[in-house]
Structure 1
Amino acid sequence: MPPCDPNYTSCAPIVQDIQTVVADLDGGLLISRNPFPYFMLIAIEAGSLLRGLLLLLLSPLIHLLYTFVSEPTAIQLMIFISMFGLKIRDIRTTARAVLPRFYAADVREDSWREFSSVCGRRIAVTAIPTVMVEPFVRDFLGGDGVLGTEIDVNPRSGRATGFVKMPGVLAGKLKKLAIKQEFGDESPDLGIGCEASDHDFVSLCKKGYNIVHQGSSAVPVHQDPLNRRIIFHDGRLVQRPTSLNAIITFLWIPLGFILAVVRIFFHIPLPIYMVHRSARIFGVNIIIHGQPPPPPSPGSPGFIYVCNHRTAIDPLIIAIALGRKVSCVTYSLGHFSELVSPIPTVPLTRDRATDAARISALLSDGDLVICPEGTTCREPFLLRFSALFAELSDRIVPVAVNTAPSMFYGSTVRGWKSMDPFFVFMNPRPIFEITFLDPMPTEMTCTGGRTAIEVANHVQRLLGCTLGFECTTLTRKDKYMMLAGHTGVVDNSSKMEPSKSQ
């Protein structure tokens, strides 16, 4: 059996007879060997901020255990703090909807190239709990399975006990044992490990490589070559919660919440035409491009301002950019957000006839903002536009909305939606970029002979070109199905073309 290469920095070309590969995840397929940020995400997103704060406070002890005791001891402590008492369902949902975005940004290009080039069986091995990494490995790396630590779950309550099943945290010689059990007498063709700690399991393979980390030489892979692309993800945090980022975040949260309260409630009694300038005093930057049409004259119907959907407060930001109150329709808005909203908000029912009647009534009173995607999308993609707006008016103004959150996302699938506006304004310097496009010419509306679907698709493409976003045929239902219980990802080959029908 060929020995492991102790100085491996990039794999040699894979030969055709290699049909199976076993790769260490942390430090092998991923650049970072430190799993702390992912346990922090589980603690915060599946648990609470208090649980995340406890994990952060104990991070010096965890580091000492890693350095002077053993990796399994440190990982067991992180498992206990981040998972004890949590429903296994919530842990799985977080692993599917939150973790992949951060994992995908940390994939090592050279080892991923070799892992993905094997056309046969691909297995990832890790000391991290299988429940945390399996959705990412299968859906994004195209792996066939994960050999990882199995957490213990109370069968009656469905909650994690904070401990692990035998034989314990999968590290060191236990990785070798797990691979022997998985493959039996047939050794894997290729093993990719991380430095000397993985020599035991790499030595089982017919051909083995150990990655030696040399400073910052590792290059992350661009997400496009991954097996699938991230379009939807959940969670409040923008930055990977490393120890330093977590410290900054927790120090900022009390000040940020106070600042958000001031930013929101100071402007509620102000005339809306004053908000654009006064918002700058509190660090909120609203950048406006283009020239919107003037308000409708008495007796004439209003314009429909059709925008993409980035945060829960997009209609409010458009109203501020216009300098006048406009109505908006929404599918889901927290009761508190609806109560304090300075512009009229009208809920939609998803019954087409009822919603059409409500929108028509609003247009007879003035301008209206509508987000035909039906839900927010954080990544540079546009979801399929509902065509209802095109059936009800030919006075259509496309509006491109973009944001630049630095610390918190202002949308969530699992969390309290009433907190969405607060998280938007808890960012140190919220930035909103609003671009008003020219009103749609009559010949490009239903009045000009176009179908409602053609109009909706045309508006989607206009906004996509303006923002540099990719148009998809995905819908609100796709998003919630993906994040709530199915794949959570989209194949590169499907639904990534510009939408042609609705």
Structure 2
Amino acid sequence: MEEALLKSSSLFPYFMLVAFEAGGLFRALVLFLSYPFVCLFSKEIGIKIMVLICFCGIKKANYRPGRSVLPKFLLEDVGYAGFQVVMRYKKKVAVSDIPNVMVEGFLRDCLDVNAVIGRDLKVVFGYFVGLMEVKRDINIVMNEIIGKENMNPLLVGFGSSSQKFISHCKEVYLVTSAEKTSWQILPRGNYPKPLIFHDGRLAFRPTYSATLSMFVWLPFGFPLSIIRMFVAVFLPYKVAIPILAFTGMVGSLSRQHSIDPTIWEAKTRGVVYVSNHRTLLDPIYISLALMKPVVTVTYSISRISELLSPLKCIRLTRRDREKDLKMMEEILSHGNIVVCPEGTTCREPYLLRFSPLFAELSDDIVPVALDSKVSMFYGTTASGHKTLDPLFFLLNPRTIYNVKFLEKLPKSHSCTSGELSKIEVANYVQNEIAKALGFQCTNLTRKEKYMLLAGNEGTI
């Protein structure tokens, strides 16, 4: 796999992802400091050292980066030329020098590979010990796969120079490191399957130099994140906005010509602002754009995040629809409300299915299109500690938030005054926000996201 598919010749970024996401900051630092010495050894010994550092003591049942984190970064390193050769064939066998738990999810789920010949890790009492099992004879393994997958015994080999593997091939394509330097990266539009969900905290490809930048930044980033949090929570909006922008948290605001947040101030009921969900800070940025506080409703939020929020957060039950609706109507009778009907965040340019509950609340519905960019850390997670979401977002050297207020829904497109059902209203709002952002709509839900990334239904 490494020789045939990936443009980069360095495996360090993938081991760093495992060390950071599965083992934490200290393990990542150990790998970073050890890597110059790893480079002094052969490739095989170097891999064994990195496997020991990254996996020793990790509980097998809790290990998820192989399916939730690594596929994104591996896809972004796939060479277009190698991809075209591999995808010509219906049945594919991948050979890798790194552990199966790092690449099998990517190869099977993203590239539809039938079988993976990699290295298994030793497990003792449910924990990885950081050692790889002895390599099995490739002739025996290939014969087993050919029989199991009902393959032609004469294969086409690409990338591998192993004599034992070549003996099973009628044709062999080899690629040199010099040739790979001219490869183009696989365009996102050519991915076999759309990349919609992924997890992990690192928002950059952790090459050695980029990882160095991260460790240099962290001593400055931690105090800066505390300052940013203090400014956002305790200072007036007019004072907080320029200070936050000065520290690197910039944003943009745009409104449709007829949208003026003051036109409903005389109304007895508030306005329902319906937005897509990018991060935990979505309602805060909407509030900053309006220059006044709003109440936000959420399906799940950690207690720490709720306490730190400068806005009032109301937790919905999710299971009792009537109770949730009454709660939201009570809030709306006293002021404006922000609703994120996706129910969970999505990092990629896709919108998840909108829950139609908001459509029954009011005729005064304003869609809000949000997009955010981070430079170092994601402020969202499915399988990690959600209490750290605000910290990781504020740790970024630079963040960009774009807030766009769309046209208020016309009466004909409301649930109470028009002829549309609540589901049709929700779909209409989803489509309007998607068009404003250039995103794609999906029917995927919070449950599907969490089952894929965390193996649970996403309850906190």
TM-score by length of 2: 0.93
CA contact (8 A) 2:273 2:338 kept: yes
The 5 A counterparts of 1:38-77 are 38-65=14-41, 70-77=42-49
CA displacement, residues 405-429 of structure 1 (integer Å, 9 cap, x when unaligned): 1111110011211211111111111
Aligned to 2:285: 317
Mapped to 1, the partners of 2:152 and 2:233 lie a distance apart of: 69
CA contact (8 A) 1:295 1:302 kept: no
Note if 1:131 corresponds to 2:95. no
CA contact (8 A) 1:272 1:325 kept: no
Question: Which one-letter code corresponds to 1:482 in the other structure?
Answer: L
Stretch of structure 1 that moved more, 336-345 or 75-84:
336-345
| Structure 1 segments unaligned to the other structure (5+ residues) | 1-24, 169-173, 487-502
Aligned to 2:170: 206
Mapped to 2, the partners of 1:219 and 1:299 lie a distance apart of: 57
1:176/1:74 CA distance change after superposition, 3 Å: farther
CA contact (8 A) 2:244 2:250 kept: yes
How many percent of aligned residue pairs carry the same amino acid? 41
CA contact (8 A) 1:411 1:417 kept: yes
Note if 1:479 corresponds to 2:449. yes
Question: Which one-letter code corresponds to 1:455 in the other structure?
Answer: V
Question: Which one-letter code corresponds to 2:128 in the other structure?
Answer: A
Note if 1:451 corresponds to 2:421. yes
Note if 1:463 corresponds to 2:433. yes
TM-score by length of 1: 0.85
Mapped to 1, the partners of 2:108 and 2:254 lie a distance apart of: 43
Note if 1:338 corresponds to 2:306. yes
CA contact (8 A) 1:116 1:142 kept: no
CA displacement, residues 296-319 of structure 1 (integer Å, 9 cap, x when unaligned): 445611001000000011001110
Note if 1:167 corresponds to 2:143. no
Secondary structure, aligned partner of 1:241: coil
Note if 1:327 corresponds to 2:295. yes
Note if 1:109 corresponds to 2:80. yes
CA contact (8 A) 2:231 2:240 kept: no
Out of 211, 215, 218, which is 2:183 matched to?
Answer: 218
Secondary structure, aligned partner of 2:234: coil
Mapped to 2, the partners of 1:393 and 1:186 lie a distance apart of: 63
Aligned to 2:2: 26
Secondary structure, aligned partner of 1:50: helix
Out of 395, 400, 417, which is 1:426 matched to?
Answer: 395
Aligned to 2:157: 191
CA contact (8 A) 1:187 1:206 kept: no
Mapped to 2, the partners of 1:273 and 1:390 lie a distance apart of: 32
1:178: Cα distance to partner?
A: 4.4
The 5 A counterparts of 1:7-406 are 25-65=1-41, 70-91=42-63, 93-119=64-90, 121-154=91-124, 157-167=125-135, 178-179=141-142, 182-183=145-146, 187-193=153-159, 197-198=161-162, 201-214=165-178, 216-290=181-255, 291-294=259-262, 296-297=264-265, 300-350=268-318, 351-406=320-375
1:391: Cα distance to partner?
A: 0.8
Stretch of structure 1 that moved more, 396-405 or 421-430:
421-430
- RMSD, aligned CA: 1.9
Mapped to 1, the partners of 2:152 and 2:356 lie a distance apart of: 57
CA contact (8 A) 1:202 1:209 kept: no
CA contact (8 A) 1:88 1:159 kept: yes
| Structure 2 segments unaligned to the other structure (5+ residues) | none
1:177: Cα distance to partner?
A: 6.5
Mapped to 1, the partners of 2:188 and 2:248 lie a distance apart of: 33
Secondary structure, aligned partner of 2:14: helix
Count residues in correspondence: 447
Secondary structure, aligned partner of 1:117: coil
CA contact (8 A) 2:98 2:118 kept: yes
1:293/1:433 CA distance change after superposition, 3 Å: same
Question: Which one-letter code corresponds to 2:312 in the other structure?
Answer: P
